[in-house]
A and B are shown apart, each in its own frame.
Chain A
């Protein structure tokens, strides 16, 4: 397998090379040759051509992980997508050697179609690389992550995707590099800050200095004092000759040229350059911009090929985060204690055999199984029911305004789902369902965390 030089600026077909190095004038020429490469050197002065080639290589599942070198500095955007500019043959070989070594550690059944895994594998092979944002005023979001954009599935936005990976703890923020403020209307980050009249919001305002006559205490705009090249108080006719002795400047007032009102301080609004909305600067939504690195969990996922998160498939059913879920239960408990008619129920589902299923069916089919289970579960619960995942395998459903009767109906329906997940290999999704209803099962002053732990540890269906 040769190392491939893509010499894009050559007018004629480049020739030369050797046993393990071949030269091509374009990416198409390389592809039509149908060979497998160990790495690439993109040699061009043209940033756009280089970017097109590098993007094509990084989006292709066959080549996305391979080392790509540049022959010269072509700007930060390309630098983020490539493996640098090697100082010589030796440096290049060293780098490739290290990459190859890491690539061998990746899980063999790597699912290269999966965008999550592509990113994790890429970062795993390059332990010194962080996912760094690039500041670019021409971009709507100002900060972009070129590598994430290239590795993401088509049409997928890099920002939310990275946030999701952080939430799932595959990535972790490394360094805070910036902060942007988003327009609440369109999420744009480009704002023009203008000072406006607080009365009519016109931008036609002008500073108007005021004078204070010491003799009579008259305070008025400076223009009313000017008379024949001198300052004369319009009120007491005193000649104002010397600042500090005869008069002073108590304040700088503003006057609106449109509505005529005068005011001490103008309002400042942030005018969004994207949608034109005028927002109070306090209402803009701040976002911290970080560089990201692979977390321990992310490294292990890249090595084992298991994203572990098959459970997470359950997370899109009216899902709320656990602390919030717990505080909701606390709140409902408080309601029950105060109002007699208030009633609600909890259902807990504990998945028991995901590991066995993964062993027997493989990761992909297990995921399909869970997904099917989630779809059915979603059909069973109401729009007003909430779910959370308290731990890896414990799923909770909160049923407001539901007594023991309604709860048991849902419980039996869920237990029924077990049968439907049975597979040809005679395995099925195994789980326990526990139930709880307040105020009947309620203990005085028990926090929801304890309640949930108590019933999950107790009876099982």
Chain B
């Protein structure tokens, strides 16, 4: 065993020190194709987007526009209990100068009385504040997230509608930062920036916190510059109410967030001026799963829903007439290929290396792959801390966990494959916690 390790280390050292010998190139040719041709361009694109964003922000002339539309915040609550009070309170605390209507839709209120009461208790406190109004909408019969959102949209009066989770709370500048985009009539949606609230709880939450910073925060900043934001998160999405109503609100089934993002993007082909932006300064804090088991369960659902949505429900959306070329390519590339195909490629490749190369080789390859991803992670992390983080101090403290990130990402990728198989073979989306089975079984896909 130590012999194998020693050999692997030797080989790795050799590869790194004398990069032009024959074995290296033989190896690189097996390793390079998918990395360079598939992942690296995306990294470069995101990198370019971030640079563009930073420069734009630097040269931006600060303008205070007299644009203060009424904002309706739909909070979908289920069994959050007292935690929903934190969400409502953080919304009533917004420094936004316009009116904010907070609509707490309690799904299955007949059973979730603790949540309902927690929301009702705050009514007086919120309504006492200027231009803040809390409406608690008890949906007695449980109908799932989609029905809660559509019920809220029904009574929302604001021209900007936010779809928010009951376990997510927000910085007090969130509404002001998110709403300012809508002064541009072409903006139909804004994705908010989510941070992990319970980062300090376990290694799993710390690693997720880093993942949120890099693969959500940093990468969406980059994607937003090119109008190719991949998803408006269900926990924190901001929409132009008129557009949302025009496309009929949310559609039944799971992964309603990705569904509505895709349905909005389906107008990009015909209306190239429409925009979906990401606002890094609109910050929400959410709870991430604290144990590996819960984390994997969550991802099983998320990644399984990707297959359900891309393959079963939205396969007809993948045409330039609907998405436009730019988003079609990105969606195929980062959505279909990265999420659905890549996990199997990685798995196949790993097995291939393990079968056909000696163990020392395998370890060396893994070490090299690890170092490559660590380098990419480091570059993004530094860029994130320097240019993007609005809490650089606490964020920097997570740097010690960076060496674990490539491993974590690898596990996530492999698990993504499992989830895809699970959905593809077992139709797991019909067994989601997001809506009761009697609702899900009626969906068409």
Q: Could you tell me which A residues sit within 8 Å of B by CB distance?
A: 226, 229-231, 240-245
Query: Which of B86, B173, B176 contacts A241, CB < 8 Å?
Result: B173
With A229-B173, A229-B176, A231-B172 known as contacts, the answer to whether A243 contacts B90 (CB < 8 A) is yes
Measured between beta carbons, the chain A residues less than 8 angstroms from B283 are: 241
The 7 listed contacts between A and B (C-beta, < 8 Å) are: A229-B95, A229-B173, A241-B283, A242-B172, A243-B89, A243-B172, A244-B86
**Distance from B175 Cβ to chain A, minimum over Cβ atoms (Å):** 11
**Distance from A216 Cβ to chain B, minimum over Cβ atoms (Å):** 15
**Distance from B118 Cβ to chain A, minimum over Cβ atoms (Å):** 14
Judge whether B171 is part of the interface by a CB distance below 8 angstroms: yes
**Distance from A238 Cβ to chain B, minimum over Cβ atoms (Å):** 11
| Chain B interface residue number, banded | 10 to 19
Report the Cα distance A118→B57, complex, angstroms.
Answer: 93
Q: Contact at A244–B173, with CB atoms within 8 Å? A: no
**Distance from B410 Cβ to chain A, minimum over Cβ atoms (Å):** 33
Report the Cα distance A242→B170, complex, angstroms.
Answer: 7
Q: Contact at B95–A230, with CB atoms within 8 Å? A: yes
Report the Cα distance A245→B86, complex, angstroms.
Answer: 10
Judge whether B93 is part of the interface by a CB distance below 8 angstroms: yes
Report the Cα distance A323→B324, complex, angstroms.
Answer: 100
Contact flags (1/0) for B164-200 with A, using CB distance below 8 Å?
0000011111001000000000000000000000000
Measured between beta carbons, the chain B residues less than 8 angstroms from A231 are: 95, 172
Judge whether B285 is part of the interface by a CB distance below 8 angstroms: yes
Measured between beta carbons, the chain B residues less than 8 angstroms from A243 are: 89-90, 93, 169, 172
**Distance from A253 Cβ to chain B, minimum over Cβ atoms (Å):** 15
Measured between beta carbons, the chain B residues less than 8 angstroms from A244 are: 86, 89-90, 169
Measured between beta carbons, the chain B residues less than 8 angstroms from A230 are: 95, 172-173
Question: Which residue of A has the minimal Cβ distance to B197?
Answer: A245
**Distance from B100 Cβ to chain A, minimum over Cβ atoms (Å):** 14
Report the Cα distance A245→B285, complex, angstroms.
Answer: 11
Other than the known A241-B171, A242-B169, what 6 A-B pairs have Cβ atoms closer than 8 Å? A229-B95, A229-B173, A242-B90, A242-B172, A243-B89, A243-B169
Question: Which residue of A has the minimal Cβ distance to B169?
Answer: A242
| Contact residues, B95-115 vs A (CB, 8 A) | 95
Report the Cα distance A243→B390, complex, angstroms.
Answer: 16
Measured between beta carbons, the chain A residues less than 8 angstroms from B95 are: 226, 229-231
Measured between beta carbons, the chain B residues less than 8 angstroms from A241 are: 171-173, 283, 390
Contact flags (1/0) for B141-175 with A, using CB distance below 8 Å?
00000000000000000000000000001111100
**Distance from A239 Cβ to chain B, minimum over Cβ atoms (Å):** 8
Report the Cα distance A245→B93, complex, angstroms.
Answer: 12
Report the Cα distance A231→B172, complex, angstroms.
Answer: 8
Report the Cα distance A229→B90, complex, angstroms.
Answer: 16
Contact flags (1/0) for B75-93 with A, using CB distance below 8 Å?
0000000000010011001
**Distance from B371 Cβ to chain A, minimum over Cβ atoms (Å):** 36
Measured between beta carbons, the chain B residues less than 8 angstroms from A229 are: 95, 173, 176
Report the Cα distance A33→B255, complex, angstroms.
Answer: 94
Measured between beta carbons, the chain A residues less than 8 angstroms from B169 are: 242-244
Report the Cα distance A240→B171, complex, angstroms.
Answer: 9
Report the Cα distance A242→B283, complex, angstroms.
Answer: 10
Measured between beta carbons, the chain A residues less than 8 angstroms from B171 are: 241-242
Report the Cα distance A240→B170, complex, angstroms.
Answer: 12
Report the Cα distance A230→B90, complex, angstroms.
Answer: 14
Question: Which residue of B has the minimal Cβ distance to A207?
Answer: B128
Question: Which residue of B has the minimal Cβ distance to A241?
Answer: B171
Report the Cα distance A461→B285, complex, angstroms.
Answer: 99
Rank and list the top 6 A-B pairs by shortest CB-CB distance, nearest first. A241-B171, A243-B93, A242-B171, A243-B90, A243-B89, A230-B173
Report the Cα distance A77→B327, complex, angstroms.
Answer: 80
Report the Cα distance A243→B174, complex, angstroms.
Answer: 12
**Distance from A347 Cβ to chain B, minimum over Cβ atoms (Å):** 67
Question: Which residue of A has the minimal Cβ distance to B391?
Answer: A241
Report the Cα distance A240→B95, complex, angstroms.
Answer: 11
Measured between beta carbons, the chain B residues less than 8 angstroms from A242 are: 90, 169-172, 285
**Distance from B4 Cβ to chain A, minimum over Cβ atoms (Å):** 49
Measured between beta carbons, the chain A residues less than 8 angstroms from B93 are: 243
Measured between beta carbons, the chain A residues less than 8 angstroms from B170 are: 242
Chain B CB within 10 A, most for which of A226, A231, A240, A242:
A242
Question: Which residue of B has the minimal Cβ distance to A226?
Answer: B95
Report the Cα distance A226→B390, complex, angstroms.
Answer: 18
**Distance from A332 Cβ to chain B, minimum over Cβ atoms (Å):** 59
**Distance from A411 Cβ to chain B, minimum over Cβ atoms (Å):** 73
Q: Contact at B172–A240, with CB atoms within 8 Å? A: yes
